Structure 1
């Protein structure tokens, strides 16, 4: 078992579905003990977001959905009813023993349980309390609920995703829940920064934690990067361009006789090599395309010119030609092809771990590669309440009779 940077950190994860759980999962990957709190009987809302469901050893559906399996590795699950006073007492005991709390309740909801950031940071001044919500803790939209696709729409991502209207296109959302993902990563960065401030800058921080406020809306807008910069700096509103890029051109999926290939020419030299590889060196000096600003200004003509050329190529031949020429290119793959790829296997992008219901399950791994503290140890996303005994008896010291009493009242 490798040494992990956060092996001394405990995280109380009160979040559900994707964004908050992803933040806590990242901390778990780094070695933190993450205690996922779920409602007795029902669990995380994501346990009902199927099918498909993971099958048990006998081929029957479990409650383990892709969202649960994708956002909750390296955690322990307990059941606890936060709406009941005794449940709130147990939650406060766990918060008092934790370094971090992650939650994604609607703004103000946890205050009625005495589990808001002000109350818990008074109880445990070292606590880093991270709130991951749709619109953040402040502003006119703060009370609103929301899900990923709402923020893709409101945050501008859908306006720049898809084919142009004149090509029969319309705004579309990305396949994965990208607003959830980026918010989860920003939340993890925020927590890590707050922990560093608490522990490394003790003279300034007094060893106190702080409140980290992350909004999916804010995170999605921030993820627009150069698209947002284009509007802010120039006033020009970006538009949808299908697979075409907005920087170096040509950059798009080029049709082949038997499929398509994504090609990106990031500079004039790559464009020149692209032309030579396609056996049309004269296009490198074509006055319409010779420099990137010219290619951007003539992007439709550029695409039509090269579409007509690549349609005569087979996909494998075009890929080979691009690799020989040193021009970035790649095929469009489904996820089976991705995980079968030798590069993905060499980098260890998936691993198989034991699972109490299925026997074993393949899960994604963390993509960060550390030289001295590699992330090599993974546990499967927990089943509902899998670690009740370990946490209630082992950590909180409750007797077996007390746990049974709490269970009979629906508190755990």
Structure 2
């Protein structure tokens, strides 16, 4: 470990670049090596036996651990303020590995009102089949969780900001209530990243990420991360991941994410700055009915955003007058902005949750969980913001004229 990474006062970007690696340990190689190996040999049979018994540290098989993944895990844990981390093959791999580890038939998971579509599907269409109760409550009001908690509640799970409607949850308040009731708190921190929000410092037990998004940052990989205390993360590694999901990240993807972390602070600053400009322009446009962005003073939870976010992120949700039809027409007029799911890429991406990422909800479920049929999700990229605005505003005026006609 370098001297800079040892200091508790070292800045975020410095730790993202240096933590856990000393070039002199690898022949002076400035860039950490990529370990493309499925298995590891032992100096003696006794050594191998000790590793399998957990009596000696070391790598056995890349489905369990790998030096390239280990470096990434150290860095993510450091940036999130956790003791340990686990790299997975996808964000859903992280979520499922965590939940399979800590749940058994008869348990209950209390979740927020809004979840990413695949998370919603896993909870409501997957876990329910194995005798696990899924209870949705509106966690924007912490007292709702207090009323819902019971002896069977083992996990409280939420996203903040939530995908796709940008709802915020008071992490500290919800964590306090959940822990008082004996439940673990799991937070999806994909939208905010550890640069903007660190849930563990606010009382959360475990943090999950789709590292596909901002952590990787370039739209060229699929990956997930789990962060928490060493005991919990070890359990997830050896139970939920090793034996149940097999959701291990490839060393090559770990290398790409480690590289992506080096520019995370720079990229997030641009994402945040541009998103604020875009959100204000959208809010002022006659074709736009409502904008959901934590940085706007009109956002209902703006005060909470200022309390638990260092900045407001690069994600915007908005609705245009005329609902789904005019929203789709708007997206189809775009020239530079790409119609695509995912988020956190260098490219600005736009999508329609009701027909895409959240189509696993029925129309009735979307209405119940505050996902409007005309809602549009925008991931503001790294292009020049004037070019983003020119494309977006160029699509919107025709919608405004049509509505007025």
* TM bin (shorter chain): under 0.3
Larger relative contact order (C-alpha < 8 A, sep ≥ 6)?
1
- TM-score (ref. length: structure 1): 0.24
- TM-score (ref. length: structure 2): 0.24
Larger Rg: 1
